[in-house]
Amino acid sequence: MTAAAQAIRVFLLDEEEIVRRGVRGLLDAEPDIQVVGEAGSAAAALTRMPAARPDVAVLEMRLPDCDGSRACRKIRARMPDVACLVLTERSDDRALRDAVMAGCAGYLLKEARGASLAAAVRAAASGQPALDAHAAGGLMAWVQDRARTGEVTARLTAREREVLSLLGEGLSSRQIGERLTVTEATVRNYVNSLLAKLGMRHRTEAAAFARCAASPPGNAGTGANPDQSAGPGWSAYRRARGLHVW
């Protein structure tokens, strides 16, 4: 296979043409990344992406026809193998939560260095979540706050709690099935049921919730190093999930 055939294929979605040009220049300079298309709106992206066949979509949260979270849901509904990576100016926790719940693989601010963006694209393409330090701290504070509410997990059956715990260890549905000696389809049913009971949309959110539930609250979200401020549970969660933080 040629180097071009092996390269990670990236689609850019941002209203600002000058931003798209800058990001394209940064990513095309990487030997293993190729920008295969771009658009200034979600509607245009959904039209162009099937032919471009990207592995990763790098998108802004602010779009002219919808927000980035909704765009991610639309993209993944039509092309479930495409990983969505948010690159945005929005640093508020609400935008981060919306992105996570929409199934985005990563969240970076536009102040990130070019090397960090390239690394995040590689992480997203390999199925690993990627966050900048601010986003990691905000996510940690959010999941800990939810986890400290005891009645949340009380809604789950004993088997659903087992599955939730294994999600927190970073296991796939197949691996959970092997651990519990049930079929992969049965695991998916348990996952769908516990997501509905927890008011969550995606297993990545449930995994974060499960792994951080016992962590001390710390000072996540204050801009401090998330490994130092969030306690040992956060470091263990990062290791379990292969979470990349910049």
**Domain boundaries of the chain, sorted by first residue:** 3-131, 145-227
Would you call 100 helix, strand, or coil by DSSP?
Answer: helix
pLDDT digit string (tens) for the chain, length 246 residues: 445 558 999 999 999 999 999 999 999 999 999 999 999 999 999 999 999 999 999 999 999 999 998 999 899 889 988 999 999 887 777 787 778 777 788 888 888 888 889 999 998 898 877 776 665 555 655 555 655 555 567 788 999 989 998 887 778 888 999 999 999 999 999 999 998 888 777 777 777 777 655 444 443 333 334 444 344 443 444 444 444 445
**pLDDT, position 245:** 47
pLDDT at 22: 95
pLDDT for 36 equals: 97
- CATH entry, 3-131, from 2.60.40.10, 3.90.550.10, 3.40.50.2300, 3.40.50.40: 3.40.50.2300
Look at residue 56 in the predicted model and tell me its pLDDT: 96
Predicted pLDDT at 202:
75
138-167 in b/e form (b: 16+ CB < 10 A) is bbbbbbbebbeeeeebeebeeebbebbbbb
Q: Contact at 8 Å (CB) between 12 and 58?
A: yes
What the block records as the tokens of 224 is: 């401090």
Whether pTM > 0.85 for this model: the answer is: no
What number of other Cβ atoms are within 10 A of residue 8's Cβ?
Answer: 21
Round to whole Å and give the CA distance between 194 and 213.
15
Domain 145-227 has CATH 1.10.10.10: yes
Beta bridge partners of 84: 57
